[in-house]
Amino acid sequence: MNPPLVCPECNRNDAMQKVTAVVSGGTSTGNYSGSSSSITHAGDTTAVGVGYSTLHGSTSSDLAKMLAKPIEPNKNKYGCGNSLLMMVGMLLILILGYAIFASIDEGFGIVAGSLLSIGFGVYFLIQEHKYKKEVYPVAIKAYKTALIKWDRSYYCHRDDIVFDTVSGETSRPSGLLSYYYPDS
Ligand SMILES: [Zn+2]
């Protein structure tokens, strides 16, 4: 039989809530901003509806933000603005290269500007390729692990800690980055 699910700090379950529930509660109707302290039952979890979060001097939405879902890594190095960034970069370097070298000779300015611009484009694409081959696979793997951990974690309103019922690890809401990504 599994041991009862309790907070590792206070060994009680009356003030704990799934992290996912804190996040959805804090970002929708604001269940935790009131002043009552009714105890609610959500599934198999007993949770204190309100009150505890204000004890720690933060509003529920601040808490929800701190406990928010881990952010998925970008597929491209610079996200959805990737191609735009490359084009703007190439254009700026073309203009800049031309401006510098056209003082020597206008034709040379065009050639030099173009070459520098193409050079930048190639460099950008190489960096992008490296990111996709080396960085992204590691990042997405770590993210998926973090997401599973996030999904099963609980928050204790009394102790202001997040804990993992599987590994037994605990973390302050402010230190969640190393809780979710212990290897990085
Ligand atoms: Zn506790």
Q: Which stretches within the chain are classed as H helix?
A: 19-27, 52-55, 60-66, 82-101, 106-130, 136-152, 176-180
- pLDDT tens, residue by residue, 91-119: 999 999 999 999 999 999 999 999 999 99
**Does the reported pTM lie above 0.75?**
no
pLDDT reported for residue 33: 37
Per cent of the chain over pLDDT 90 is: 61
Q: Ligand 1 centre from 6 Cα, in Å?
A: 8
Q: Ligand 1 centre from 1 Cα, in Å?
A: 22
Q: Ligand 1 centre from 156 Cα, in Å?
A: 5
Q: Ligand 1 centre from 153 Cα, in Å?
A: 13
